[in-house]
Structure 1
């Protein structure tokens, strides 16, 4: 009998309508899967962009006030970097790739971008915070993304990740990344979720950072 090896499920993918010349890798929040965000991305898709929404990052207690899972966060970041490397092999350079995520996924996208040696096209950080923040800016010393453009979005009525965490994250990011490149948008009445205005802002950011080549 062969032993069963658990492999990660394949990500949910929204393929480009024509040849993919850019990609968006978007990470879901805790207890979710990539499918919901793949549907959301399909609603704002650009024809030259491939959208990749991986499933399942096994991180314990990744919330702003939890004991942080240092090893789990670093391992998840390596897994995301492997997905990016695969897209580079597929012919999409890293400077045509946007990394983003919601809640836990947004936290991971920020951590990954700031510890990467390749330059990304942008980062979309929704309803999230910067994990392992005490290790920054040292952890970002060799990052290629000190000038990366960041769209950070947060609901003003978020009960799970309070707006204060988003504001503090934005201030911390300004000590690591060129402050002129950080756009922090808040949405009145929005809880720990997304809304049409936010999706419209994300679409605009994607089209600006990775226009048709």
Structure 2
């Protein structure tokens, strides 16, 4: 019984950790000197002198989410098994994004020149894994929900997949356009934050829906 309570606590912590990550990043961005939440990407919080805070947030969220996915329900439905695998991939992406800081860009950190590094490339790989994993998991969950008559959850999943993909791609386009001088400024950071918020809120909802029923050993 005590072991079951501990497992449920880990599951709950893993489920809510994505939302807490967003809250933590918002607070970190609001208190970081030289950081503009509209212009600068969320990933840029992992760089600079205070980057350790954001990196710890990413790693801890990813680790808790992975634990929650591993101890979640064991539905025999193939779609839900794939959903859990994809959410595990999302968790790994979060950990990678936290372990490796992104490169300086768009004047942040203050005084740092734009640069390209192996660590930055690995961070981008982690971020891509995160967003692609959420989109794929949401599509899988949405199609499964539609087949089983859960129209509201199906709509929420498919809308999430669409919103995350469109916002993330648009953020990347705006970021590159500013970086290359095509436009003077743009809301790349705000778009990325919106995409990440949609993605991680959906992850929380998906993990909570997939949790074992009360009394399940």
- Normalising by structure 1, we get a TM-score of 0.31
Flag the structure with higher strand content: 1
Which protein shows a greater Rg? 2
- Normalising by structure 2, we get a TM-score of 0.31
